[in-house]
Amino acid sequence: MTYTADFGAGSAVLHPEAAQERAVMGSGTVGRFVAPGTATEGRFGLYEWRMPARAGGAEAHFHRTFSESFYVVSGTVRLYDGSDWVDGHPGDFLYVPEGGVHGFSNDSDAEAVMLILFAPGAPRETYFRELAEIAATGRTLSEEEWTDLYARHDQYRA
């Protein structure tokens, strides 16, 4: 996408923190939809992931149609790079291209916060809402239902 006009446009849009949607996962993790694809014309999606102590996280998986990046803001986040689990500390960044196996977890005794960036801006908020709803209702999914949920959201077990 190239901007071709000879002058700049007044097109910036502020999205106040208080207006950003949040989803609470079963572990108590809070996902804040900082800039979902709907707010960025599909260019990227940015989410804050605030995990309480020992919250666990996402098992090894991959996506076919978007990249995913992780930036550790605070605490220690266990990051899987497709080969090894490593401790990510504040300022550390992990980039995962399409098809790259990855995972994350907070196994520490303290809260950890990271930013997750999806490019292009896949509608991950729909997936996160579904996970939050499952946790809130206590619903148990069969293996087949999990496989279907993951496939609808371009998430595949490694």
Cβ–Cβ under 8 Å, residues 114 and 87: no
Calpha distance 64→53 (Å, rounded): 31
pLDDT per residue of the chain (158 residues) written in tens, 0 to 9: 799 999 999 999 999 999 999 999 989 999 999 999 999 999 999 999 999 999 999 999 999 999 999 999 999 999 999 999 999 999 999 999 999 999 999 999 999 999 999 999 988 999 999 999 999 999 999 999 999 999 999 999 99
CA distance 144 to 151: 11
C-alpha to C-alpha distance for 22 and 33, rounded to whole angstroms: 6
In terms of Cα–Cα distance, which of 58, 13, 67 is closest to 31?
Answer: 58
Structure tokens at 109: 């005794």
- Do 102 and 81 contact (CB within 8 A), yes or no? yes
Nearest CA-CA partner of 115 in 80, 52, 71: 71
| pTM for the whole structure | 0.94
147: three-class secondary structure by DSSP: helix
